[in-house]
Amino acid sequence: MSTRVDIVLDRPRQPSEHQILNMGPQHPSTHGVLRIVLEVDGEMVVKATPVVGYLHRAMEKIAESMTFHQFLPYTDRLDYLAPLANNVALTCAQEKLCGIELPPRAQAIRVMCCEISRISAHLLGLGAFAMDVGAMTVFLWTFRERETLYNLIEHLSGARFTTSYTRVGGVAHDIPEGFLSELRRFLDGFPARVDEYERLLTRNRIWVERTRDVGVITKEDAISYGLTGPNLRASGVEWDLRVKRPYLGYQDYRFDVPVGSVGDCYDRYLCRIEEMRQSREILRQVADTLPDGPVLAPDTHVSLPAKSETLKGMEELIYQFILITEGQDAPVGESYFAAENPKGELGFYFRSRGGGYPDRMFIRAPSFVNLQILEKVLPGGFVSDVVAVLGSIDFVMGECDR
């Protein structure tokens, strides 16, 4: 029987002998173009430096020479997994700046947009997270439901990804015929689907061992690092803008806000699962109580007049022309609006000097702020945990880099 021979180095091994491991920007688990420079000691991460900006498109600069409506398609490319929710957030921010009231039907349709987006974004977040950790099936199953949702979105807005569905003062057009029954059919089947995902993961030993007590974010860190969305709630902070500062009539719908206790990857997973169920609950209530009425504010000084009217009336034609060429005349001053998007708080800060163009528009992108926690949470874990943490933070680089 042979004896094991230790490897003899020609020089003494230094305890500080760390390797630099470059992860990304093309790594599959970075969901886009995030790069992380890892300093590793064997399998352990000692230091992590995220490098962002590969997808920077100077959206804030572009916005300064555009009317609000012209900028709307750019929001499709922010968090490109929830374009409808971005459309809603931008137009709500503009309406807050200009002081515009929405008709009830438009509000309800927007709530529907937000919640469809939330389910769709969480499904992709969950699927990609599971695939990165080795559970391929979940990814394929979540894409089955996303396909249904994308068909719904296409039916609603005419496009699957680049929706640009909202308008200042409402939405582009009313929901199409048959949309509600399609939505109801999806909602009826959805809880069983979520149960299927849970059967694959929640008590799956491999999944639990890969995620439980991995990437723990304490309550204090979550607040200090400015986390928002499910990442903040998984750390035990009950903060949801839909409840704390209801917009679009969210106060009229009954739903729960799931909150985690430990703040590890497993809690973030559980929070997203439950949020999908709650979003389905909201959607069901919206579908049942959808009010009748116009879908655009009737004031033609701020919202586009109906196309049929512009072809007949002088006044409508003039305002159509002014709104398209010069934009909504915003008052002088500043305002900030934040919406609870799937990834967290998407905020728009406007500084206006009057006229149809914002003097400055700042996009508070949840993915940008959330990613900073990597510097804190990755060191001390294994390299393989990096993948689990990235999946559980659920970021989108289009929004992070803007």
Using CB under 8 A, list all residues that contact other proteins.
52-53, 56, 58, 60-62, 64-66, 96-97, 99, 221, 223-226, 228, 237, 239, 244-245, 331, 333-336, 338, 345, 347, 349, 351-353, 355, 357-360, 362, 364, 368-369, 371-372, 375-376, 401-402
Diameter of the chain measured on Cα atoms: 100
> For residues 183 and 371, which CB has a smaller minimum distance to other proteins in the complex?
371
DSSP per residue, 120-163? HHHHHHHHHHHHHTT-HHHHHHHHHHHHHHHHHHHHHHS-SS--
* Rounded CA separation 202/86 (Å): 30
Least distance to other proteins from the beta carbon of 122, Å? 22
Least distance to other proteins from the beta carbon of 61, Å? 6
Instruction: Name the strand (E) or helix (H) holding 6.
Output: none
Task: Report which DSSP code applies to 25.
Answer: S
Least distance to other proteins from the beta carbon of 87, Å? 21
> For residues 86 and 120, which CB has a smaller minimum distance to other proteins in the complex?
86
List, edge to edge, every strand of the sheet that includes 360-364.
Answer: 330-341, 344-355, 360-364
How many other C-beta atoms are found inside a 10 Å radius of the C-beta of residue 308? 9
> For residues 113 and 346, which CB has a smaller minimum distance to other proteins in the complex?
346
Contacts of 330 (CB under 8 A, 6+ apart): 94, 97, 98, 350, 352, 354, 355, 356, 358
Pick the closest to residue 16 from 43, 41, 37 (CA basis): 41
Least distance to other proteins from the beta carbon of 226, Å? 3
> For residues 305 and 327, which CB has a smaller minimum distance to other proteins in the complex?
327
Least distance to other proteins from the beta carbon of 242, Å? 13
Least distance to other proteins from the beta carbon of 132, Å? 24
Q: Is 335 left (phi over 0), alpha (psi -120 to 50) or beta?
A: beta
First to last CA, the chain: 63
> For residues 101 and 209, which CB has a smaller minimum distance to other proteins in the complex?
101
Dihedral Cα 264, 269, 273, 276, nearest 10 deg: 100
* Rounded CA separation 318/320 (Å): 5
How far does Cα 22 stand from its chain's mean position? 27
* Residue with the two structure tokens 């009830």: 104
Least distance to other proteins from the beta carbon of 28, Å? 23
Alpha carbon of 180 to those of 27, 143, 185, 245, 290: distances in Å? Answer: 40, 21, 9, 28, 10
Pick the closest to residue 385 from 396, 395, 374 (CA basis): 374
> For residues 63 and 171, which CB has a smaller minimum distance to other proteins in the complex?
63
> For residues 153 and 393, which CB has a smaller minimum distance to other proteins in the complex?
393
Least distance to other proteins from the beta carbon of 119, Å? 25
> For residues 60 and 252, which CB has a smaller minimum distance to other proteins in the complex?
60
> For residues 131 and 393, which CB has a smaller minimum distance to other proteins in the complex?
393
> For residues 45 and 93, which CB has a smaller minimum distance to other proteins in the complex?
93
Least distance to other proteins from the beta carbon of 54, Å? 9
> For residues 165 and 350, which CB has a smaller minimum distance to other proteins in the complex?
350
Least distance to other proteins from the beta carbon of 34, Å? 13
Least distance to other proteins from the beta carbon of 373, Å? 8
79 SS3 class: coil
- Identify each DSSP E strand in 291-356 by its residue range: 330-341, 344-355
